[in-house]
C-alpha cells in the first residue's frame, strides 16, 4: 500500500511528547484492543495518547495491519477530507520506523464521549450519529481507496475462531480473542444453521465480499461502537479508533453499528435503518436500485463478525437469524 505524505509525522513518541509535563497510563473498559494508552499534559492541556504496534495490538495482527491504518489515514490527508460534522480528534502522530510503534495524540475529550455502560443512547444523539455516518459516506461516495487499507475479506475473518487460536499460540490468553472459540461453540449449540453459515463465511468470505462488490462503495470507518463515539456541544460527532477504515459498502458501517450497539439502541433497528437511508437521500445519494440488497448483505456480514456474541439473548439472536439467514443460504447454495 503506497503512502502519500500530506501530513507530517513525528519520528518517535519521545519527540511527539517532548513537551509533556505529566504522563500516566490509562485504560477504559470500552477499549477492546490491547493497545496501550496514556494521559499526558502538554502546555497545561490534557491529552490522550494511543500507542499502536503489531507486537502489542491484537486487532492489528488479526486484521493484517502491517502499515498501521490510523497512521495512513493521517499521513494521506484522509482525515482532513472528512465532513465537518465528524472530528477524529487526532492532532499529531508519531511513527518510529525502527520499533514500528505509532503514537496518536488526541485532546482529552472524555466528558464528551458516550458514557461507558449499557444505558440506551439519547435518541437525538443516536440519530445524529446515523445522520453523520451517512454524511461521511456521501462525502466519499464511489471512493475506491487503496485496496490494502482494510481488505474486505479481513473484516470477516478477524473475529473467527482462528483468531483466538492464533492469539493463544502467541501466549495471549485474555481479551476478545480468548472468548471467541467458546462463544462460537455456544452459537452453534443455540442456532446450528445460522452458526454454520456464519462460520463458513468467516473461514471463506469470498462469496459475501464478491456480492458486496456489486454495490456502491465509499470510505467507511469500520467500528462505530459507542465507546468510539461522542458529541461536541455544537453537535459534531467525535469518531475515534480508525483501525478498520477502507473502501466498502456504506451499509457495512451501519450493520456493525446495529450489531455492536444492540443493547444501547434507543429505537428499533428498522427505525435506525430508515434514518440512515433517509440521510443518504438527503445528501443526494439515490438509493432505490441497490440499497436493500446491500443492506441484506451487510447485515449478514455484521452477523459473521459479531453473531458469536448474541447466543445469550434469544430476542436479539432471533432478529438477526430472521434477517440474515435467507441471504446466507442464497450465497452458499
The confidence score (pLDDT) of residue 1 equals 45
pLDDT at 28 > cutoff 70: no
User: For residue 146, what pLDDT is reported?
Assistant: 85
Whole-number Cα distances in Å, 138 to 240, 245, 258, 278, 303: 19, 15, 19, 12, 25
Q: What is the mean pLDDT of residues 19-33?
A: 79
Q: Under a CB-based contact definition with an 8 Å cutoff, are residues 240 and 124 in contact?
A: no
Check whether 29 has a pLDDT greater than 80. Answer: no
**What's the pLDDT score for residue 130?**
98
Average pLDDT estimate for 176-200: 97
Q: Where are the domains of the chain?
A: 13-111, 115-332
H/E stretch holding 200 reads helix 192-203
| pLDDT of res. 135 | 98
Task: Work out whether strand 86-87 and strand 92-95 pair parallel, antiparallel, or are unpaired.
Answer: unpaired
Homologous superfamily in CATH for domain 115-332: Aminoglycoside phosphotransferase (APH), C-terminal lobe (3.90.1200.10)
Helix (H) or strand (E) holding 297: helix 291-306
Same CATH fold assignment for domains 13-111 and 115-332? no
pLDDT in tens, 92-142: 999 999 999 999 999 999 999 999 999 999 999 999 999 999 999 999 999
Per-residue pLDDT at 227 exceeds 50: yes
Once rounded to an integer, what is the mean pLDDT over residues 220-245? 98
Q: What is the pLDDT of residues 294-326, one digit of tens each?
A: 999 999 999 999 999 999 999 999 999 999 999
pLDDT score of 282 more than 50: yes
Q: In this structure, is the dihedral angle defined by the CA atoms of residues 226, 229, 231 and 235, taken in order, positive or negative?
A: negative
For the chain, give the longest Cα–Cα distance.
61
Closest of 67, 223, 100 to residue 158, by C-alpha = 223
- Binned at pLDDT 50, 70 and 90, residue 145 comes out as confident
- CATH number for the region 13-111 comes to 3.30.200
pLDDT at 34 over 90: no
- Give 85's contacts (C-beta < 8 A, 6+ positions apart): 132, 135, 136, 235, 236, 237
Q: What is the mean pLDDT of the chain?
A: 95
pTM: 0.96
Amino acid at each position: 500500500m503506497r503512502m502519500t505524505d500530506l501530513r507530517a509525522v513525528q519520528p518517535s513518541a519521545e519527540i511527539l511528547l517532548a513537551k509533556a509535563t505529566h504522563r500516566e497510563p490509562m485504560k477504559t473498559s470500552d477499549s477492546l484492543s490491547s493497545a496501550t494508552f496514556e494521559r499526558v499534559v502538554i502546555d497545561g492541556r490534557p491529552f490522550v495518547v494511543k500507542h499502536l504496534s503489531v507486537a502489542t495490538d491484537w486487532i492489528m495482527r488479526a486484521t493484517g495491519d502491517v502499515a498501521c491504518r490510523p497512521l495512513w489515514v493521517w499521513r494521506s490527508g484522509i482525515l482532513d477530507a472528512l465532513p465537518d460534522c465528524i472530528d477524529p480528534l487526532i492532532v499529531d502522530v508519531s511513527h518510529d520506523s525502527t520499533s514500528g510503534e505509532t503514537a496518536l495524540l488526541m485532546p482529552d475529550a472524555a466528558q464528551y464521549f458516550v458514557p461507558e455502560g449499557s444505558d440506551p443512547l439519547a435518541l437525538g444523539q443516536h440519530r445524529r450519529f446515523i445522520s453523520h455516518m451517512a454524511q461521511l459516506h456521501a462525502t466519499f461516495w464511489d471512493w475506491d481507496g487503496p485496496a490494502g487499507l482494510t481488505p474486505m475479506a479481513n473484516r470477516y475473518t478477524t473475529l473467527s475462531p482462528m483468531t483466538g487460536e492464533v492469539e493463544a499460540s502467541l501466549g495471549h490468553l485474555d481479551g476478545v480473542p480468548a472468548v471467541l472459540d467458546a462463544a462460537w461453540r455456544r452459537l452453534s449449540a443455540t442456532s446450528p444453521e445460522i452458526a454454520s453459515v456464519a462460520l463458513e463465511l468467516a473461514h471463506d468470505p469470498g462469496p459475501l465480499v464478491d456480492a458486496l462488490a456489486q454495490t456502491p462503495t465509499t470510505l467507511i470507518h469500520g467500528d462505530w461502537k459507542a465507546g468510539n463515539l461522542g458529541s461536541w456541544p455544537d453537535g459534531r460527532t467525535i469518531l475515534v479508533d480508525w483501525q478498520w477504515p477502507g473502501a466498502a459498502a456504506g451499509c457495512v458501517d451501519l450493520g456493525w453499528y446495529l450489531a455492536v450497539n444492540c443493547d444501547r439502541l434507543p429505537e428499533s433497528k428498522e427505525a435506525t435503518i430508515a434514518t440512515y437511508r433517509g440521510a443518504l437521500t438527503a445528501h443526494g445519494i439515490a438509493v432505490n436500485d441497490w440499497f436493500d440488497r446491500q443492506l441484506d448483505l451487510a447485515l449478514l456480514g455484521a452477523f459473521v463478525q459479531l453473531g458469536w456474541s448474541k447466543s445469550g439473548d434469544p430476542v436479539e439472536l432471533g432478529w438477526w437469524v430472521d434477517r440474515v439467514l435467507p441471504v446466507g443460504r442464497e450465497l452458499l447454495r
